Amino acid sequence: MNRHVGSIARVLAIALLAALLLAPQAFAPVFSPFTENGAPPVYNQGSLLDLTISHLELVAIASLIGIVLALAMGIFVTRPAGQEFLPLSRSIANIGQTFPPVAVLALAVPAVGFGVTPTLIALVLYGLLPIFENTITGLNEVPAAVLDAARGMGLSPAQRLWRVELPLALPVILAGIRLSVVINLGTATIGSTVAAKGLGEVIIAGLQSSNTAFVLQGGLIVGLLAVLVYDALGAVERLAARRAGRSA
C-alpha cells in the first residue's frame, strides 16, 4: 500500500518536472495570478531545460569533488597513520559547513573571478561535512570481530579496506552523500549571483523584477529535483544495505 503511494508520488513528481521544463508555457494560467502589471508569468530569458542541465552539472561536479575529498579524508583519519589528524580534519569539515556559502562566494570571487569556480568552491566546502562524518561513522561501525578475522586470515590493510571496510560502510557513506547532494542542489542557486549558470537565475530574475511567478518556478523546479534525487539515492542506499548483509 505504502509502496504504491510512493510509486504514484514519484511518477507524478517526474511528470510535473518534465512538464515544467518541456512545456513551460502551459503553466502560464497557473502562474499569472502571481504577476503584476502585465509581467510575463513564465520565465522568458532562456530555456528552463538548459538552466536545469547546467544546474545539475554544477551540482554533480561539486558533489563528485566533495565525495572524493571527504572519502579520502575519512579513510585517512581512520587509518592508524592518520588518527592524529582526526581533530584537524573535523575542524576543517565543520568550518566548511558553518561558514555561509554566500560568504565563501564573496571571499572566493576576488581570488578566482566570477563564474563556476567560486560556486564550486562554496558547494564543495558546504557539502563535505555530511560525507566526511558518515565515512568515519561507517568505517568505525564495522564490527571489531569482522576486522579481527580479516586481519587474522591475512588480508593486507588495503584488502581489508576495499573488500571489507568500505563495502560494509557503504550504506552509511551513501546516506551522507545523499544529504550532501540535496544540500548542494538547493545551495547551487546562489551561484547565479556570481554568474554561474543555473536555476538560481530564474529566482534572481524574479526577485529583481518583483515577479513572484519566476521565483515560484525556479523554486518549484529545484524542489522537485531535490525530492527526486533524494528518492533515487535512497533506493541506491537500500540496495547497498542489502548487499552489506544488514537486512534480510
Do residues 229 and 182 touch, judged by C-beta distance below 8 A? yes
Do residues 31 and 41 touch, judged by C-beta distance below 8 A? yes
Do residues 31 and 209 touch, judged by C-beta distance below 8 A? no
CB of 245 to other proteins, least distance (A): 3
At 232, which helix (H) or strand (E)? helix 212-243
Distance CA 181, CA 226 (A): 8
Q: According to CB under 8 A, which one of 3, 84, 143, 208 is a site residue for other proteins?
A: 143
Q: Which is nearer to other proteins, 79 or 243 (CB)?
A: 243
Does 239 participate in binding other proteins (rule CB under 8 A)?
no
167 to 186, contacts with other proteins by CB under 8 A? 167-168
Give the three cell numbers for residue 88.
584537524
Q: What is the DSSP letter of 23?
A: -
Does 141 participate in binding other proteins (rule CB under 8 A)?
no
CB of 241 to other proteins, least distance (A): 10
CB of 164 to other proteins, least distance (A): 6
Does 71 participate in binding other proteins (rule CB under 8 A)?
no
Helices (runs of H) and strands (runs of E) counted in the chain: 11, 0
Spatial CA neighbour of 188 closest among 68, 51, 96, 70: 51
Does 155 participate in binding other proteins (rule CB under 8 A)?
yes
Q: According to CB under 8 A, which one of 70, 150, 179, 216 is a site residue for other proteins?
A: 150
Q: Which is nearer to other proteins, 61 or 164 (CB)?
A: 164
Give the three cell numbers for residue 47.
530555456
Does 88 participate in binding other proteins (rule CB under 8 A)?
no
Residues at the contact surface with other proteins, assessed by CB under 8 A: 143, 145-156, 159, 164, 167-168, 243-246, 248
